Chains A and B, each alone.
Chain A
Amino acid sequence: MARRRRRPNPGVGPVTPPPPSSLIGAPAMAAPPPIVGDNALVLGIETSCDETAAAVVAGGGRRVLSSVVSSQIDLHARYGGVVPEIAGRAHVELMLPVVTEAVVTAGVADDDVAAVAATCGPGLVGALLVGVSAAKALALVWSVPFVAVNHLEAHLHAAFLDEPDIELPVVVILVSGGHTMLVLMTDRLRFRVLGETLDDAAGEAFDKVARFLGLGYPGGPAIDRLATAGDPDAIAFPRPMLDDGWDFSFSGLKTAVINHVRRHQAADPADVAASFQEAVADVLVAKARRAAAACGARGLCLAGGVAANTRLRELVLDAGMADGLETYLPSPAMCTDNAAMVAAAGWWRLRADGPSPLDAGADPSLRLPGC
């Protein structure tokens, strides 16, 4: 059985300052080596919802050596949404193949992995526990730290995987099937939630409208596709809470769409999809622009599955142009749930806070730290 080699630390300690000169002559105190080196490899595992994912990432996101995502969309499609028990079962079956593929694709040996990170929340508890259990098991066998990662924090790191030199602070529009929030990111470990949805997440609204229009599941890509043939100005759907703080509400918009279609049976579904999508993107981007101005942010950044939406991306680009802000639009593969972002976040957390205890559990309603 191979044993872990003690490897010379490739990096430099991040926080420990050199001893002040007045201490010269005092007993030599060696600076504690950093828990994780600058180029250290972290294996990330993500199982918060319906994607089983594993990835190997170097240096907190500087290099993605592998990112494997096994989607369960086909298993859940006929139910029109994710069924927790079906997701939990699938994660167990997919875990070993996905982790193995991530390690093999990365071309690394077990001994090269410096830490194992897993999403511990928010998400479906029965799904989260599969990833957390697998990560702890690997940490035990490899004698490396385990890091419990906040899924929302991981999403905030995703844009850096494509573009490591993002100028901070940025306002991040974090939009997915489960979350809709506006976050001010001042550095890789410091965030402030400026606004959140008060009811449905943006992705949830897309799914519900798509289901009503008979477009199937998942709703986001279906509406995006149909909208290309429609007129975004055809129907003036409400822009809920547009001028009212930084929180969102999409439940009323969803109801307005359903009522409109019921009243106008002849309405072109493409126009409905385009107009609905326009309303969602409009509210998201309008608030993000105001937030960026108010907080002195230098850029706008997209994160989460809904960030793949074509119209949302266009409006963010337009806003950046108009307001002189940098815009960061991660590739769709990094927007949707993946483990590369978990591995990146794990590296940063490990450097800042050290390893997580092995008795850490999953928290289905975990919030962003410091919020």
Chain B
Amino acid sequence: MLILGIESATASTGCAVGDRSGVRASVRAAGDRRHAEMLAPQISAVCELAGVSLRDVAAVAVDVGPGLYTGLRVGVTTAMTIASALRVNMVGVTSLDLVAFPVRHTSRSITAVIDARRGEVFCARYRPVPGGVQRVSEPAVSSPEAVAAEIMAAAGEELVVGDGAVRYRSVFDPIRGAEIADRGFACPSAESLVHLACARALREEHVPPEEIRPLYLRRPDAEAKWPAAAGAPTPASGP
């Protein structure tokens, strides 16, 4: 079962194709946030590298965030449109799962921390289990200091991973028992996405393309400010 994985929820953009036996090809551009420009040529390139046609793809996996809104929308729109045109199912994986997964061989607890801008981070906590990691808290948006306080309260050995961990190194470094994972692990990778998605697709944890939604974790500013300004009832909060 060939899976195409698309990842553009943070500053980097990447895609990969693979199946149960492993990743066959992957392409990645780090950093410059030109997601919309790079993604489609990358998808062509990765299929060519792997020697497959897009039409051979049996499921499309996508990083559903949280992350940078624009990159996230480019990735999710591209992935859901490809899946819909191919009439195949999708696997959505959170960016936090994707940064925690590559450090699964640790014996410590894991906190995934992704830069959310405006002085905040997206985060979730994990524990390593055989063959992977298990998320033990829901993805949330928080201040780096609040995440640090949680890690301190847990009072164990902790690996802190993600671009948020790197950016707020000064907040996480002083915590006793905590270590910050290398910069090389800071961004989610499309390879991890294909790896995780293969396992989930085998367990039939997939959805039709129209059910995939970006995980923003924050309401749009205008919506968030509206009730306070106008005294209107609080609208139902988003996902």
Contacts and interface: CB of A to CB of B under 8 A. Distances in A.
Interface in A76-128: 78-79, 83, 85-86, 88-89, 91-93, 95-97, 99-100, 110, 125-126
A86 B40 contact: no
Contacts of A136: 39-40, 78
B55 A92 contact: no
Nearest to A93: B213
A361 B82 CA distance: 18
Nearest to A361: B37
B142 interface: no
Contacts of B228: none
Q: How large is the interface on A (under 10, 10 to 19, 20 to 34, 35 or more residues)?
A: 35 or more
> Interface residues of A: mostly helix, strand, loop or mixed?
helix
A153 to B, nearest CB: 20
Interface stretch (B66-74, B113-121, B143-151, B173-181): B66-74
A97 B73 CA distance: 16
B55 A126 contact: no
A165 interface: no
A141 B221 CA distance: 36
Nearest to A132: B36
Given A138-B81, A140-B43, 13 more contacts: A1-B55, A79-B226, A86-B222, A95-B77, A133-B78, A134-B78, A136-B40, A137-B40, A137-B78, A141-B55, A141-B81, A142-B85, A358-B40
B209 A361 contact: no
Q: How large is the interface on B (under 10, 10 to 19, 20 to 34, 35 or more residues)?
A: 35 or more
A362 B36 contact: yes
B220 A133 contact: no
B126 interface: no
B81 A126 contact: no
Given A133-B74, A359-B38, A361-B34, A140 B44 contact: yes
> Interface residues of B: mostly helix, strand, loop or mixed?
helix
A99 B214 CA distance: 19
Nearest to A142: B85
Contacts of A3: 55
B84 to A, nearest CB: 5
Nearest to B213: A93
A96 B209 contact: yes
A130 interface: yes
A134 B69 CA distance: 16
Contact of A141 (B35, B76, B86, B220): B86
B54 to A, nearest CB: 6
A1 B86 CA distance: 8
Interface of B: 34-41, 43-44, 54-56, 69-70, 73-74, 76-82, 84-87, 209-210, 213-214, 216, 220-223, 226, 230, 232
B54 A141 contact: yes
A96 B37 CA distance: 21
A360 interface: yes
Contacts of A92: 73, 76-77, 213-214
Given A96-B210, A141-B82, A129 B40 contact: no
A106 to B, nearest CB: 15
Given A93-B213, A129-B36, A359-B40, A137 B77 contact: yes
A38 B38 CA distance: 32
A144 B232 CA distance: 49
Nearest to A139: B40
Contact of B84 (A86, A96, A139): A96
A97 B208 CA distance: 12
A168 B211 CA distance: 47
5 contacts: A3-B55, A78-B232, A89-B216, A140-B40, A358-B44
A282 to B, nearest CB: 35
A83 B220 contact: yes
Which of B85, B209, B221, B222 has its CB near the most chain A CB atoms (within 10 A)? Answer: B85
Contacts of B73: 88-89, 91-92, 126, 129-130, 133
A360 B37 contact: yes
A130 B78 CA distance: 8
Nearest to B85: A141
Given A89-B216, A99-B81, A140-B54, A361 B222 contact: no
A97 B44 contact: no
A95 B70 CA distance: 15
